[in-house]
Amino acid sequence: MLDFIYYPVSFILWVWHKVFGFVFGDDNAIAWILGIVFLTFTVRGIMFKPFVNQVRSMKKMQDFAPEIKKIQKKYGNDRQRQAQEMQRLQREHGVNPLGSCLPLLLQIPVFIGLNWVLRNFQAGRESNYFFDEAGVNSYVNAKIFGVNLGDAINHLGMMGGTGQSGWNWEVAPVAVPLMIVAAVATHFTARHSVARQNPASATQQTAVMNKLTLWIFPAGVLVFGAFFPIGLLIYWLANNMWTLGQQRLVYTRIDKEEEAKKAEAQEKRSTLAPKPGQKPAQKPQAGQKPASQKKPSTERGDAAEPAKETKAKETTENGKAPKSGGSARGGAWAKNGGNQQRPTSQGKKPQGRKRR
């Protein structure tokens, strides 16, 4: 029914087993363990870009979280209008709500497919998808510390395992340490992700999800890990270790991009800002003419100096001072004793006769 999942998963595992089997031997458990680990790395490498898009989408959602709270408060009683406004806000900011769920949705089929392929490695089977009978027997006989990779502490048909049903405590010395390390890795992966969240964007749903990822999921690994075969526990551990390293790499790169953007914006503001002691240029208001610039007094002084030099030159050439109307008028006034008054009509233009 799900052969479109089982065949690709088994093919990737077959390729990596052939690679490491060439080095360590096909029947060596190390070849199978590294094959499962690199199967995990291959799948997660394919999902690397969706993971980066998920981180960027979550970052954008945290940036406009206050707007989301306003919409939830404004349309608290109208769910339909609230959903419409949320969709509009997501379109404006270029956020795809499915982007944050895509990596997890892609991992679920891989987990189901690997679990099915591993538990079909049973003695007596002639094939297991891409593996032939020799490949099946190689996996069944591969042991780590005396335990087969297909064994589990408790075998259930749903969870897989090649051994007999019931409790197999001889598997516990290998399975329990893997379960504990996988649970711790799950917790630290969730803690690293929660630490990136913006407290301003925290909601009740966010708090519930944080508790689930921080405590419930790691506890689930400890409980249900007893029903997983050793090979599947190795996949779970490798998946969490990849996630932790990937988060550190992607978060560091995104933080550097954010710092570069802030530094660039700060540089632009400092470039456009007025220098110390300089008054910022005021824009003229609407309808107001810009103020005309006055010529400095030095220009007028410089222009007056050539005129004085020209007048002085004329005086020296003729030997006499030029006559002026002011000096003649002053002499006549002195002869009359300074008491003669100018006629009232002097200096005024004659007025025309008024028409009757």
In terms of average pLDDT, the best of 149-153, 179-183, 195-199, 208-212 is 179-183
For residue 110, pLDDT over 80 is answered with: yes
pLDDT of residue 275: 66
Please give the Cα distance from 154 to 164 (Å, whole number).
Answer: 9
Q: How confident is the model at residue 179 (pLDDT cuts 50, 70, 90)?
A: very high
CA 215 vs CA 182, 188, 193, 241, 253: distances in Å: 13, 10, 13, 17, 28
For residue 219, pLDDT over 80 is answered with: yes
Q: What is the number of other CB atoms lying within 10 angstroms of the CB of residue 236?
A: 23
pLDDT of residue 88: 84
pLDDT of residue 303: 46
What is the reported pTM? Answer: 0.69
DSSP track, 258-303: HHHHHHHHHHHHHHHSPPTTPPPPPPPPTTPPPPPPPPPHHHHHHH
353's tokens: 């006769």
Q: Which residues are within 8 A (CB) of 103 and not within 5 positions of it... i.e. 6 or more apart?
A: 47, 50, 51, 54
Percent of the chain with pLDDT over 70: 69
Q: Beta strands 154-155 and 143-144: pairing type?
A: unpaired
pLDDT of residue 9: 93
73's tokens: 């408060």
For residue 37, pLDDT over 70 is answered with: yes
- Averaged pLDDT, 95-117: 77
pLDDT of residue 176: 93
Task: Judge whether 69 and 206 are in contact, CB under 8 Å.
Answer: no
- Averaged pLDDT, 4-13: 93
